[in-house]
Structure 1
Amino acid sequence: MKRLFRVAFLLATLCLGLFGAGTGPAPAADKKVFRVGYVVYVGFMPMAWLKQSGLLKKWGDKYGIEIEMVQANDYVGSINQFIAGDLDAVGVAGMDALTMPAAGGVDTSLFLITDYSNGNDVLLSKSAKSVADLAGQSVYLLQYSVSHYLLNRALVLNGLAGVSSVKTVNISDSEIAAAYLTQADLQHAVSWKPMTIDMLKGSKDSHVLFDSSKIPGEIMDCFIGKTQTLKEHPEFAKALLGAWYEAMQAFAAGGDAAAGMKAVMASAMGTDEAGFQSQVDTTHFFMTPADAHAFLTADKTRQTWDYIRHFSFEQGLFGQGAASVDSIGIGFADGSTLGDTKNVKLRIDPSFAKLAMDGQL
């Protein structure tokens, strides 16, 4: 998964003509079909299980709809499909929801939080003894990705002036591991699993300076939908969350059901179960709707979005027309807003998690 968060400019006509669904099951020919996109990434892999477990059909039938899961090969492309209306929801890193559809003017709602990185993203070095030692040094990473954000937070939390205190060198996620292991001048890097596993194993001098477990909740993954779609068709979000939390209940319970899920998810990721488990171990999944609701409504989560929006604006990710960090509004369930209250384009919506938590799906 190329976990980019940059503004995408897309001139597209939004798809119209959504058919209303009844409150009860409808004949198959009349069912409204909703398309959900996701890419191969540990936090989204339960969707691969939903595709073959029958849970999507079970919950879709309950609401008289059909949900089609679409595994995308290109991350940015999947977000562009969402912006254009080809997908009704898409899995993204949280900050991409802000810097792509929201920054592009699409009124977007985060309605399902799946997980956050709890050690999957890593700042490593062959020579520095501490994060402070990186001042003035070159650090290789995928620019404008969560790696860039992680580096900034690591530097700030260790008394430096963020990414301006180092020299960042852009390198693709497909190249960084090989380059780190073969280039003597590449001493410091930021990336994520599974690349960092190979980087640490292949270089005897390498060690971790900082990882995402130090900033829990800040590198989050979620599913977003257009606010109007969710308003007009709440049955879509209800069915998707119903299937998701039923799957997560089995995942959390362990035993044969969880083993079966892990086998499917590992296969979908193109790894073995040990490789998959190594990523699960450093990922915090929201196993219950109560946990998700608590996260989405927490004061700390609001602070996280403040960090994200400031970093995004400082890196020019709001686009040329953004005059200040307040140009784009981020709305919360309590009615408060970060940024422009007249231009709220990203809404943190815990209402469906609340329904699930209360047993009302």
Structure 2
Amino acid sequence: MCSALLLSGCNNSKSDSVGGSKPTPEDTPTFTLAWSEYPSWSVFGVAHELGLVDKEEGKMGSLEEKHGVDIVLEEATYDTCLNRYTSGNCDAVCMTNMDALIICPSRSGVAFLPTSTSVGADACIVVGIDDLDALKDHKIYGLEGTVSQYCFARCIEEIAKETGGDQKPGDYQFTNQDPAIAAAAMSGNQETHQAIMVWNPFVLQTLNDRADAKVLFDSSKIPGEIVDMVVVAAESQEKEGADKFMAAVADVFYAMNAEMASEERGDEVLVEVGKKFSQLGLEDMKKVVQQTQFYKTAEDAKKLMASDEFKQTMEVVEKFCVEQGLVKDPTYTFDGDATAALQFDASILDTL
């Protein structure tokens, strides 16, 4: 439950639901958004507590009422969310641009809301290793076929480019392991784990647990390449009320950004987001939102989606995914080609 301070800012209508939600009128379109714990996605869980949206079907928060749509929020692990999307059991899902490229050939989608980008939230953490040459002698534990492996490979390439070195991702022993297990092994001083490649909260937790651990490199080397998004299924976009749903989701997201920027209670809202994101406190969450930079306004999002840089980024992501055998023949578009498996289209944000 949200605190008294948070509840004091919810809309003033009263009911038995958090934030004074109201029953959904008949014939209101209903859509489902699957989300997992991550900073710019956990805001949807807090939005329920603030009364902006009611996660239950048949109840509406203030922004659902505004847009005339019932949004059902389903929280699950990241992999479960992706599975729900591919199996047709949700209308939209929170996922990265890389996973959208991999998954959308199975169920076409439209990426309409970029929420954040990793600028240090994915990191190679080491103990007793000072440079890339020394790193070659050790296994680097991280989850293969994910943004962790992508970030590792891209950072090696960028560092080599910066330094004039000849290092290549294939020179290193990237070893498949779940990030929670890898981080726990390093935190537990296991000698086998002198290098790990993980994302937050495991980055901060590991650095907090081991004073001799340090970041060798991180995703600040590749800002704007790992992008967190909301993707709606193309078939769901054809349903009546889809535009209302997409606009409402975006409106909720930007309203939460405004709440976190509030001088009056921004810190407390950030703490509530932290509770949805592995129970991190205020100081750690302040670091998290520096390392996971939000696209705080519709203007920020539209600028990203229209940029040549992001189009070039997707070419790099595509190359990595194809080379790793993660996807065979991906098709994506920025110009509204409905035959593409993945469309990048933020035009709904013009309606806000």
Give the secondary structure class of the aligned counterpart of 2:179: coil
The 1-side partners of 2:339 and 2:170 are apart by 30
- How far the C-alpha of 1:98 sits from its partner, in A, is 1.1
The 2-side partners of 1:293 and 1:95 are apart by 19
- How far the C-alpha of 1:128 sits from its partner, in A, is 3.1
The letter for the 1-side match of 2:175 is V
Q: 2:200 aligns with which of 193, 202, 225?
A: 193
**Segment of structure 1 superposing worse, 173-182 or 131-140:** 131-140
Q: 1:246 aligns with which of 237, 242, 255?
A: 255
Contact 1:132 1:158 in 2 (8 A): no
Give the secondary structure class of the aligned counterpart of 1:169: strand
The letter for the 2-side match of 1:352 is I
Residue in 1 that maps onto 2:341: 345
Q: 1:28 aligns with which of 4, 20, 25?
A: 25
Q: How many residues align?
A: 314
Residue in 2 that maps onto 1:14: none
Q: Compared with structure 1, are the counterparts of its residues 136 and 62 closer, same or farther at alpha carbon in structure 2 (3 Å cutoff)?
A: same
Q: Compared with structure 1, are the counterparts of its residues 262 and 227 closer, same or farther at alpha carbon in structure 2 (3 Å cutoff)?
A: same
The 1-side partners of 2:62 and 2:304 are apart by 28
**Segment of structure 1 superposing worse, 304-313 or 241-250:** 241-250
Aligned-residue identity in percent: 25
Give the secondary structure class of the aligned counterpart of 2:73: strand
The 1-side partners of 2:283 and 2:82 are apart by 30
- How far the C-alpha of 1:289 sits from its partner, in A, is 0.6
The 2-side partners of 1:185 and 1:55 are apart by 47
Q: 1:226 aligns with which of 229, 233, 240?
A: 233
The 1-side partners of 2:100 and 2:50 are apart by 28
Residue in 1 that maps onto 2:6: none
The 1-side partners of 2:192 and 2:207 are apart by 16
CA RMSD of aligned residues (A): 2.2
TM-score (structure 2 length as normaliser): 0.82
The 2-side partners of 1:63 and 1:189 are apart by 45
Residue in 2 that maps onto 1:329: 331
* 1:116-146 deviation per Cα after TM superposition (whole angstroms, max 9, x unaligned): 1111111122233223443464211111221
Give the secondary structure class of the aligned counterpart of 2:26: helix
What are structure 2's unaligned runs of at least 5 residues? 1-22, 54-60, 161-165
Q: Compared with structure 1, are the counterparts of its residues 241 and 66 closer, same or farther at alpha carbon in structure 2 (3 Å cutoff)?
A: same
What are structure 1's unaligned runs of at least 5 residues? 1-25, 336-340
TM-score (structure 1 length as normaliser): 0.80
**Segment of structure 1 superposing worse, 233-242 or 129-138:** 129-138
Q: Does 1:171 align with 2:177?
A: yes
Contact 1:43 1:115 in 2 (8 A): yes
Residue in 1 that maps onto 2:14: none
Q: 1:67 aligns with which of 40, 65, 71?
A: 71
The 1-side partners of 2:319 and 2:168 are apart by 12
The 2-side partners of 1:342 and 1:239 are apart by 23
Q: 1:298 aligns with which of 307, 332, 335?
A: 307
- How far the C-alpha of 1:27 sits from its partner, in A, is 6.9
Q: 2:35 aligns with which of 35, 38, 52?
A: 38
